[in-house]
Structure 1
Amino acid sequence: MFLENEKLKLRALEPEDLEVLYKWENNTNLWVHGNTLTPYSKLALRQYISETQQQDIYEAKQLRFMIELKATNTAIGTIDLYEFDFHHSRAGVGILIDENHRNNSYALQTLELIKEYVFAFLHIKQIFAYITTDNSQSIRLFEKAGYKRAGELLDWVHYDSIYKNVYIYQLINN
């Protein structure tokens, strides 16, 4: 079965996710890992949740799942597919695990679930991730998940008055 294992379930966003999304999206410490430049309002997030319930990945070119612990039905993170390109058969992936649930192998399990979904259900050729070169925890995670470093983009991310290099990691379905 796609999108779940014995501990985790990847599910669509629900209106009840508003508060936890608001907390994660407005955590300025996480903005360096994405493209966020300003805080999100609850109204904007409410609209985003509503829109994502009505669009599929082919239309929106992106898809977000909530990562939920099956035992407690607790949302512990999100995983995004972005820059979905049907023609070139690829999608970017980004993952967030709430700091209270890290170091439990949930991120690795989630990457495995999304890999199965992307390769076996969507029939996509490859998944890629951009990771700043100083993010050793994410580098270890993606390498453990089988991603290979494919290149480095110099001065790619501007954050807190400095530029950071970014590695590109790929997982190709052979």
Structure 2
Amino acid sequence: MQLYTERLFLRDLNFNDAQNIFAYRSDAEANKFQSWIPESREDVESFIQRNKIEFNQPESWYQVLITDRETEAVIGDIGIHFFGAENLQVELGITLNKDFQGKGYAAEALQGVIDFLFNDLGKHRIMASVDPDNSDSIRLMERIGFRKEGHFIKSLFWKNRWVDDVIYAILREEWMKK
């Protein structure tokens, strides 16, 4: 996948990205809401190897890298989970290097991916699962037009404990009205 926005270039991961991905993904404090924190560059290389070669396959996760369009600096990544028997629903997750947070990159990257998923792939619904303590992500979801669908109490067993989960989503017809 390759996608350009005003300031960003979103593209497939490759092994040359491993050190840059490790640099921001291995920061346990900055990524406390993430389920994957690599312990070595080899963990990242395995992650890149597992990334699906075939994009848009049901019940698969596909990761794209967010880079600065001019400098090619690695800003973060977006996970795209294609799910449902009809393959018309998608879950998104985003991770940014803390040096690039607060500059509008997450919103710009997500909006570009969402436009692509709705306009080019014809998806019906896009959702995000957010930790209720992750106020930055909640503000991001609301800023880009997602609505809160529910707050599920202790519905996820994560990092050896039960935690709450907040679901945000948007339908294709809602996105197109924006």
Q: TM-score, normalised by structure 2?
A: 0.84
Q: Which residue of 2 aligns with 1:172?
A: 171
Q: CA deviation at 1:162?
A: 5.6
Alignment gaps of 5+ in structure 1: none
TM-score normalised by length of structure 1: 0.86
Bigger shift: residues 46-55 or 14-23: 46-55
Deviation for aligned residue 1:20: 2.0
Preserved contact between residue 58 and residue 84 of structure 2 (Cα < 8 Å): no
Q: Is the CA contact 1:32–1:159 (under 8 Å) kept in the aligned structure 2?
A: no
Alignment CA distance shift 1:5-1:153 (3 Å) = same
1:89-100 maps to which residues of 2 (within 5 A)? 89-100=88-99
Q: CA RMSD in A?
A: 2.4
Residue pairs, 1:1-174, within 5 angstroms: 3-29=3-29, 32-36=32-36, 39-52=38-51, 54-58=53-57, 61-85=60-84, 87=86, 89-158=88-157, 163-174=162-173
Name the count of aligned residue pairs.
Answer: 172
Retained in 1: the 8 A contact 2:82–2:88? no
Distance 2:159 2:57 in 1: 34
Measure the CA separation in 1 of the matches of 2:111 and 2:103: 14
SS at match of 2:3: coil
- Does the residue aligned with 1:81 lie in a helix, a strand or coil? strand
Fraction of identical pairs, as percent:
22
Deviation at 1:39, TM superposition (A): 3.9
* Counterpart residue type for residue 141 of structure 1: L
Post-superposition CA distance 1:90-125 (Å, at most 9, x none): 011001111101111111101110111110111110
